[in-house]
Structure 1
Amino acid sequence: MKPTLVIFLKAPMAGRAKTRLAAGIGLARAVSFYRQSTNILVKRLGSDPRWRTVLAVDPPTAVGRGWWHAWPPHLERVGQVRGDLGQRLRHVLDAVPPGPVVIIGSDAPQVSRNHIARAFHLLRHLDAVAGPAEDGGYWLIGLKRLKAAPEVFLNVRWSGEHALSDTLASLPKDFSIARLPVLQDVDEAADLDYKILLRSIRQ
């Protein structure tokens, strides 16, 4: 069964994407960075035949194939639902086909094909995999989905230092879990050397 990669994306619009980053570097620059970095990320990961790629988009109206031309039109899209991140993650888990699923956001633009391939390799033998971020959150979460996890993503303190630990605690106690290398999210101006990072993610 072909595994599924889900990429959570926001429309690259002022006031919707990268609002904390915009407070430090300006609205236009933050949107420009998000647009460029996510376009590169989607094209890089969405072109790999080893997995099915699904875009989980906000707003849900962006499900339309022509809504944002830089997102490859052949990739399947699902709309994000209202609610906290946990509710949106659970909705996507229910929406995609059976089999292993890896979910990433768009805050760590340096995620590579090797990172995703490694996550799916680990899910051949383990129940879950996580990619920790430096701030206590995570840039990747993956589930094998052979065992039930009815409370996954419940009671998680999002956008803080407890996000990863709370998420792992929401998994059943008998789940085997692996961790990938720590990556840095780009949330605020202090996280970003704009020109150097854009140059690196193009490589």
Structure 2
Amino acid sequence: MITTSSSAGIPATLLVIAKAPIAGFAKTRLTPDFSPREAAQLAAAALLDTLRAVRHSGVRHRVVAWTGDLTRAERSDELSTALAEFELIPQRGETFGQRLANAHADAARAGLPVLQIGMDTPQAGPALLAVSATLLLECGDTVLGPAADGGWWALGLTDPRPARTLAEVPMSTAHTGDLTREALSRCGCRVRRLPVLTDVDTADDALTVAREHHGHFSRAVEQLRHHAPA
């Protein structure tokens, strides 16, 4: 994959944590409301929206930390084309927290502050990502975007070393956001708050986000709802 760095744009790295949208591998909490394949189709749509938002954010360097077999993914051809515009690095680590910490360390090798997001917030458009990256640069420290379910959707660091603490934070709980903020504060970070977003974990989340967002994801939700049995 190409390395997308230039002298133009916001001097930061936008890091996307992503997994191949394969049935039974991605977005498993969307079942049984959606079938495993439908859940993977929604994951693919959300990722396509996210990659597009990153490409149009004006952030200088774009990285995807990837896991899974792209050839088996839903919408694999579209994703392959989109990912060609990113630096692709493998996820490393046993737990999700370890993979997050390692991805921050790997992305920081470009020498720029890192704003990390996932593939669960397709409504996070280019303007929000640009504002979030700019706030990270202005505060010169740390930004954290809370999720409505108590987690978080974005983490920006000017120094990658505090990311190591993510390996010790319980993930996917109603207190993950607060625990992450506390852990970062213990590392000496002054954490600035980004807007609260709903991340797509459940079927209700998917419907909520589809109502407030227009893109691949909202169209995929509408199509699946249209074809759902009465």
Deviation for aligned residue 1:98: 1.9
Per the alignment, do residues 134 and 195 of structure 1 end up closer, same or farther by CA in structure 2, a change over 3 Å counting? closer
Matched residue of 2:198: which SS?
A: coil
- Offset, 1:194: 8.1
Tell me the TM-score normalized by structure 1. Answer: 0.86
Partner of 1:93: 104
Tell me if structure 2 keeps the 8 A contact 1:101–1:142.
yes
**Cα gap change, 1:40/1:67 in structure 2, threshold over 3 Å: closer, same or farther?**
closer
CA contact (8 A) 2:142 2:156 kept: yes
Corresponding residue for 1:133? 147
Task: Give the 5 Å matches for 1:111-126.
Answer: 111-124=124-137, 125-126=139-140
Is contact 2:123-2:213 (8 Å) kept?
no
Task: Answer whether contact 1:154 1:170 (CA < 8 A) is retained.
Answer: no
The structure that is helix-richer by fraction is 2
Q: Count how many residue pairs are aligned between Structure 1 and Structure 2.
A: 200
After TM superposition, the structure 1 = structure 2 runs for residues 146-185 of structure 1, keeping only pairs within 5 Å, are: 148-149=161-162, 151-173=164-186, 174-185=188-199
Measure how far apart 1:70 and its partner are: 4.2
Question: Secondary structure of 1:38's partner?
Answer: helix
What's the counterpart of residue 44 of structure 2? 35
Who is 2:119 aligned against?
A: 106
Task: List runs of 5+ in structure 2 lacking aligned partners.
Answer: 1-6, 71-76, 219-230
SS at match of 1:24: coil
Cα distance in 2 for residues equivalent to 1:153 and 1:195: 26
Residues in 1 aligned to 2:99 and 2:90: alpha-carbon distance in whole angstroms: 9
| Aligned pairs for 1:30-109 within 5 A | 30-59=39-68, 62=70, 68-96=79-107, 97-109=110-122
Moved more, 29-38 or 2-11: 29-38
Q: For 2:200 and 2:46, locate their aligned partners in 1 and report how far apart those are by CA, in whole Å.
A: 11
- Which 4+ stretches in 1 moved above 3 angstroms? 194-199
| Contact 2:49/2:215 (<8 A) preserved | yes
Q: Give the distance between the partners of 1:4 and 1:50, measured in 2 at CA.
A: 7
Deviation for aligned residue 1:162:
1.5
Over the aligned positions, Cα root-mean-square deviation in angstroms equals 2.8
CA-to-aligned-CA distance 1:11-66 (integer Å, 9 cap, x gap): 1111111111032222232122111221122122124443211011112x65xxx8
Shift of 1:198: 8.8
Conservation of the 8 A alpha-carbon contact between 2:13 and 2:59: no
Gaps of 5+ in 1: none
Superposition deviation, residue 163 in structure 1? 0.9
Letter in 2 for 1:104: I
Q: Tell whether the 8 Å contact from 2:57 to 2:129 is kept in structure 1 after alignment.
A: no
Cα distance between partner residues in 2 of 1:67 and 1:114: 23
Compared CA separation, residues 17 and 178, structure 1 to 2 (3 A): same
After alignment, is 78-87 or 168-177 more displaced?
168-177
Describe the superposition over 1:137-166 as per-residue Cα deviations: whole angstroms up to 9, x where unpaired.
0010110118x5375214211101111111
Alpha-carbon distance between aligned partners in 1 of 2:29 and 2:40, rounded to the nearest angstrom: 11
1:92 partner letter: A
